[in-house]
Amino acid sequence: MYFKISTYTKSALALAILSANHSLADENNSFSLPSIVVTSGFRGVALQDVPTSLTVVNEETITERNADHLEDLISLAPNVNSSSGASHAKYFQIRGIGERSQFIGPINPSVGVIMDGIDMSNIGGAATMLDAEQVEVLRGPQGTLYGANALAGLINIRSADPSTMTKGNIETTIGSHNTRRFSAAVGGPVNEKIGYRVAFESNQSDGFTENLHLGSDDTSNIDETLFRGKLRIEATDNHMIDLTAFYADIDNGYDAFSLDNTRSTLSDKPGHDRQETSALALKSTWTGHDAFTLETSLSYSQSDLEYGYDEDWVFDGFHADGYNAFDNYIRDNKTATAEVRLVSAPGAELFNNSTSWATGLYYYNRSSDLRRVYTYLANDFTSEFDTTRISAYGQLESALSDTYILTTGLRIEHSESEYKDNDGASSNPDDLLVGGRVALEYLASENTTIYGLISRGYKVGGFNADGSLPENLKEFETEYLWNYELGSKGNWLDNSLQTQIAFFIQQRDDAQIKGYRTITNPGGGTSFVDYVGNTEEAYSYGLEAEARWSLNSTVSLFGSLGLLNTKLKDDSAKFDGRDSAQSPSYQYSLGATFNHGKGWFSGLDVEGKDEYFFSDSHDQKSDAYTLLNARVGYKTKDWNVSLWGRNLTDQEVSVRGFYFGNDPRSGYADTKYTQLGAPRQIGVTAKLNF
């Protein structure tokens, strides 16, 4: 029978029981918070038992915030930031580490993004919340788990799986700026051995820009179509196969910058931010041996990306000293991964049944072909980039006593890349990388865990593609990150209060810092030459705290706080002695949800962030801000409707910033230019469950 209690299912049930017991969920306490199981590790583990700082956003919170994209949730995770420079935030920063943009050069991401086992780290524009069930944000290097793509941390998105009973939902949203979103999902059994889940979404909006020259208010529009399909096949009592297919067709506008730093633009050739992604993933779980579970996974994604913008931001003839240029980047990205993993089964622990274990091999290949079409290039610039990584890893979790657990992990990774372009540049670097972790957990009581952690992550070195750079900037070294962390997690008041707090210090060796040089165009204005270099010294330290409290049957509270201090040191650099970019010294979220009875509910939350540097190459900063969000609605078992508002005070928030000359009226004097985030938004969402 489909999903009968096989060995695989028994293990999942045992995990759920253990998680509930460890969380001390009192069934007689109607205010008890649900247990949270983290799935991004080698085995599912209760949140309290994971010795690292992490945030878990569940399906309920995703729905409450009416989140459509990963960027709509990032503010809930302390010391996690994002940068735009496109229609969506594509790049994420954890504890001040992470990319902010990509132009000519290939990049290796510092923050990994995984969605249903598919590596989305270089195609973050498609990291949507379509049928999402849980988002896990792991802070600090994940060297043992994910290697080079998770130097600063990892974001793991998991969507709903096939179910044993047919069920689904239909949801529609209508909002300001001509926002229209429709989604539907349904899943259930095909027969006794096979289950399915399919989900679809169409998301459209005019965006927040008014182009005065063209008389249009949709030059930064959103036009996205998304599809996901899943199959779960119980091949035998001991063998489960999961198949996932994902498709995204994104055709968004990009007309975000103006010479006067407003949402009113004058461009005659509005830009675009397009992406068409097709992806497949397979996971096989075999539990036919008493000593271990064999997990095999494969994934492949292919993305056609096109990112272009009106470089002068105005129409031809705007000024006698003006220029007219358009810059367009067309990429063909392909990513393939393969992994074989052995995870010890219950009862097969090592060293007198005290130590569970996991070990595996991992393969990663990514290719990226670029064609740049730019007004001031005599011929299109083309390049080819290919990188291959092969890793071996292992982890031991040892119960030293009834109250102490020691976790040790090691990953060894060989990386080899090849780059060539039509300017004659070529490079073929290879590197052997080592990362891992040592964590000691102390079970202070049945509801309190204290841990200490030392972890090491890495990010491969590489080369800068632009041929105009001097020789000393052509290549950059591998970066290593040491993370030292002390934290505590607890469940209190009969599990109605959940807390976690972590203190950390991070030391970056040969930190990779992105900078840029400006060059004067033949027709006027300036263009960027971006590059990556290594700084002499970089470090950070801070605090991360989160809490959820179910006061009673009516009121629930939640909050998070991130404090961060970073420093970059390099006598020859502009940023010497300064905070690193995208590193606000504080950020917070605080909110409450109310159950008014008879189906009525409401919620209110605020989120805030300190000022921060936009770049390591100039001194321009964002402004500190506080946003107010609210919602009110009515729900039954089968349907719900809510009225929601974001940024109700209509604060101006900058999501990207540059400093250069682009205005002929001022003689192209260097000026701070910013891309503004979403203004006040109000909408209605209705959902039908069946």
User: How far lies 149's CA from each of 108, 137, 143, 398, 520, in Å?
Assistant: 7, 14, 9, 27, 35
Rounded Cα gap, residues 34 and 652, in angstroms: 36
Q: Among candidates 117, 46, 42, 119, which has minimal Cα distance to 342?
A: 42
Question: Which pLDDT belongs to residue 609?
Answer: 97
Centroid of chain to Cα 476: 25
Taking the C-alpha atoms of residue 627 and residue 65, their distance in angstroms, rounded to an integer, is 13
Checking if the pLDDT of 97 tops 70, the result is yes
Q: In terms of CATH, what superfamily is 7-647?
A: TonB-dependent receptor, beta-barrel domain (2.40.170.20)
Average pLDDT over the chain, rounded to an integer: 91
User: What is the band of 524 on the pLDDT scale with cuts at 50, 70, 90?
Assistant: low
Greatest CA span in the chain, whole angstroms? 82
- Listed in sequence order, the residues at least 6 apart from 296 whose beta carbon sits closer than 8 Å to its beta carbon are 282, 283, 284, 286, 339, 340, 341
Q: Quote the CA–CA distance of 432 and 263 in Å, as a whole number.
A: 47
Residue type, 515: G
Q: Are strands 111-115 and 118-119 parallel, antiparallel or unpaired?
A: antiparallel
Q: Which of 158, 166, 168, 170 is nearest to 195 (CA)?
A: 166
Domain boundaries, the chain: 7-647
- Contact between residue 427 and residue 476 where contact means Cβ atoms under 8 Å apart: no
What is the chain's length? 690
From 14-18, 67-71, 540-544, 557-561, the region with the lowest mean pLDDT = 14-18
Residue 8 in this model has a pLDDT that exceeds 80: no
Nearest to 104 by CA among 516, 500, 603: 516
pLDDT tens-digit readout, 385-440: 999 999 999 999 999 999 999 999 999 999 999 999 998 888 898 999 999 999 99
Average pLDDT over residues 12-35: 45
pLDDT at 143: 80
354 conformational bin, left if phi > 0, alpha if psi -120 to 50, beta if neither: alpha
Tokens standing for residue 292 = 């271990």
Q: What is the reported pLDDT for 23? A: 36
Q: CA 37, CA 42: separation in Å to the nearest integer?
A: 12
pLDDT tens column, 237-255: 999 999 999 999 999 999 9
